[in-house]
Chain A
C-alpha cells in the first residue's frame, strides 16, 4: 500500500489572552493511496484543524507532515462557498484560475466533469438556480478540477437537509471513486462515516488525541446508501458510539 502522507507527532496550541489551549496532542497517522479515511470526534476536538494543517492554510503547528513526492492537496469546505456573481462554469474554474493553471486542457477536463455529473445544462446559469445537492457537486468539481492527489473534506454535507445529505453523499462518493481520489473526511456523523470510509480515526475530546483507528470491512461493499444495510454496520456503529467522547 502506497503512503501518500505521513503525519508525525503533530501538536497544535492555540494562544489566547486567557492562556494556551492544546488543540491537538501528538497526532500520528498515515494516509494511504486511494483510501477513504474519515476522522470523527466530538465538536471542538480539533478535527478541522488537522485538515487546515494538511492543506497548508494553518502553518502554525509542531510536528512533521511528510508528503510523498510533490503531491497536491485539495480542500472541500463545510459550505459550497460558490460565488453568486459567477456562472457555474466560472465557479468550477475558479481554483484553476487562481492557481494560474487554467489552460485549454484543464478547462476541458473541468467542463467534462460538469457534463459527466449532471451539470451540463447549468454551466451558464448562476448558482442561485441550483439545488443544494447540485451546488455541492459544483464545489466538489471546483476542487477536483485542480486534480488533487488527496482530497480533504470538512463536514461537506453538514449544510444540507437529511434526505439531500444521503443523496449527495452517494453522488460525491461515486465521483470520488470514479476519479480515483484519495479522501480525508472530517465528520461527526457515525452512520455517514461507516457507510463511506475504508478507515475511521476516532479523536478524543480536547486536547485531540488519536483514540482508535478502525478498518471498516463490509460485506458486499457498494454505495454509501447500500452499505448501511451491511450486517457489520450495526457492530461498527456500536463500537464507535462507545469510543466517542460525549460532551453532554
Chain B
C-alpha cells in the first residue's frame, strides 16, 4: 500500500470514528442527564426508557404487528404508485395533446400539500386502511409521473432515429428503446418514492388508524407517553434505513452496464 492510500484509509477511518463517537456521545449525554434528573424524562424520555418500551411492545406481541402494518401499507402504496405512474406516463408519452393539456393540472396538484386532502379522503373512502394507502399514493404519484414521463420524453432523438432507420414500429420504439433507456430513471424515482411513501403512510396513520408506527406515535402523544413516541420514532428510523438499503441493493444489481 502506498503512502497516499494509507493516508486516504486513515482519513476514512477517522470520519467513521467521529460519526460513531457523535452518536454514542449524544445517547450517553441524554441518558446521563435523564438519570441525574437534569432533564424532565416526562418530556424528553431517555434511551433506556425507549429500549424498555420497545421490549415491552415486543413482550405484549405488538411490536412486529405495528411494524408489519406500516411496512405493508408502505409496500402496497409504493407498488401501486409505481404501476399507476408508469401507466399514466406511457399514456402521456403516447399522446402529446393529453400531456400538454394535463401539464398545468399536474403542476397544480404537485404544489398542493397533500395532507390537506386527508379529511376528504376519510369522508370519501372511510376511516380505514384504504385512506392511509391512498394518502401514501397521493403524496408520491405526481412526482413519479412527472419524472418518469420526462425520462420517456428525453430519450435521445438520435436513438429514435436509429430505430426508424430499421423501420421500427412505435411499439418497438417504446419497448426496445424508450422503456429500457429509462429503467434508471424509474429506479431513481423509486428511491425518492420510498422515503416519500413512508411520509404519506405515517401521515395517513396520524389521520386514522388502529395500528402501525404512526398510530404508536400519535397514541403516545395523546396519552402523554413520550417513551412510546420516541420508541415509535426510533423504530421508524430503523425501518426507513432498511427500506433505503433494499432499494440501493436493487439499484446496484441493475448497474451492470
Residues of A contacting B158 in the complex (Cβ-Cβ under 8 angstroms): 77-79, 81
- Interface bin, chain A: 20 to 34
Bound together, the chains give a CA A230 to CA B231 distance in angstroms of 84
CB-CB under 8 A from A146, the residues of chain B are 166
- Collect the chain B residues with CB atoms within 8 Å of residue A83's CB: 159, 177, 180-181
Residues of B within 8 A of A77 (CB): 158, 161-162, 165
A99: interface (CB < 8 Å): yes
Flag whether B8 is at the interface (Cβ < 8 A). no
* Cβ of A94 under 8 Å from chain B: yes
A62-88: contact bitstring with B at CB < 8 Å (1 yes, 0 no)?
000000000000110111010111000
Contact mask B153-190 → A, CB, 8 Å, 1/0?
00010110111111110001000110011010000000
Chain B CB within 8 A of A248 CB: no
* B162, B163, B165, B257, most chain A CB atoms within 10 A: B165
Name the prevailing secondary structure of the B interface residues. Answer: helix
A132 at the interface (CB under 8 A from B): no
| Number of cross-chain contacts by CB at 8 Å | 46
Question: Is the Cβ of B256 less than 8 Å from the Cβ of A98?
Answer: no
CA distance A55 to B257 in the complex (A): 31
Contacting pair B166 A94 (CB below 8 A): yes
CA distance A174 to B161 in the complex (A): 26
Dominant secondary structure of chain A at its interface with chain B: loop
- Interface pair B167/A99, CB less than 8 Å apart: yes
Quote the shortest CB–CB distance from B253 to chain A (angstroms): 13
- Is the C-beta of A126 less than 8 angstroms from some C-beta in chain B? yes
CA distance A75 to B162 in the complex (A): 8
Contact of A75 with B159 in the complex, beta carbons under 8 Å: no
Contact A85 B161 (CB under 8 A): no
Q: A-facing mask of B198-209, CB < 8 A → 1, else 0?
A: 000000000000
Does B257 lie within 8 Å of A57, measured CB to CB?
no
Interchain CB contact under 8 A, A98 and B176: yes
A211 within 8 A of B: no
A128: interface (CB < 8 Å): yes
Q: How far is the CB of A129 from chain B (nearest CB, A)?
A: 9
Closest Cβ of chain A: how far from B24's Cβ, in Å?
42
Q: Which residue of B lies closest to A73 (CB)?
A: B165
A94 CA to B168 CA in the complex, in Å? 11
CB of A207 closer than 8 Å to a CB of B? no
- Asked if B161 and A95 make an inter-chain contact with CB atoms under 8 angstroms apart, the answer reads no
Alpha-carbon distance between A79 and B183 when the two chains are bound, in angstroms? 22
Q: Are A126 and B256 in contact (CB under 8 A)?
A: yes
Q: Is the beta-carbon distance between B165 and A57 smaller than 8 angstroms?
A: yes
- CB pair B180–A75 under 8 Å, yes or no, is no
List A contacts of B257 (CB < 8 A): 84-85, 126-128
Using Cβ atoms and an 8 Å threshold, which residues of chain A touch B176? 94, 97-98
Q: Provide the bound-state CA to CA distance between A77 and B161, in Å.
A: 8
Given the interface pairs A126-B256, A126-B257, the reply to whether A75 lies near B177 with Cβ below 8 Å is no
Which residues of the other chain, B, contact A75 by a CB distance below 8 angstroms? 165
Q: Which residues of A contact B159 (CB under 8 A)?
A: 81, 83
A21 to chain B, nearest CB (A): 20
Q: Could you tell me the distance in whole angstroms from the C-beta of A135 to the nearest C-beta in chain B?
A: 13
A55 to B164, CA, bound (A): 10
Which A12-59 residues have a C-beta within 8 angstroms of B? Answer: 55-57
Please name all residues of chain B whose beta carbon is closer than 8 Å to the beta carbon of A97 when the two chains form the complex.
Answer: 176
**Chain A residues with Cβ under 8 A from B165's Cβ?**
55, 57, 74-75, 77, 95, 143
Contacts of A126 in B (CB 8 A): 256-257
Given A83-B177, A84-B257, A85-B180, CB of A98 within 8 Å of CB of B166: yes
Q: Which residues of B contact A78 (CB under 8 A)?
A: 158
Instruction: List residues of B (127-176) whose CB comes within 8 Å of A's CBs.
Output: 156, 158-159, 161-168, 172, 176
- Which residue on A lies nearest to B156, using beta carbons? A81
Q: Shortest distance in angstroms between A148's beta carbon and chain B's nearest beta carbon? A: 10
| Chain A min CB distance to B81 (Å) | 24
B156 / chain A contacts, CB cutoff of 8 Å: 81
Assuming A83-B180, A85-B180, A85-B183, is B161 touching A98 (CB within 8 A)? no
Query: What are 15 A-B interface contacts by the 8 Å CB criterion?
Result: A57-B161, A77-B162, A81-B159, A81-B162, A83-B177, A83-B180, A85-B180, A85-B181, A85-B183, A95-B165, A98-B163, A98-B168, A98-B176, A99-B167, A126-B257
Having A83-B159, A85-B180, one finds 5 other A-B pairs with CB under 8 Å, namely A57-B165, A85-B257, A98-B166, A99-B167, A126-B257
Query: Which residues of B are interface residues toward A (Cβ below 8 A)?
Result: 156, 158-159, 161-168, 172, 176-177, 180-181, 183, 256-257
Query: Sorted from nearest, which 3 A-B pairs have the closest CB atoms?
Result: A75-B165, A126-B257, A98-B166
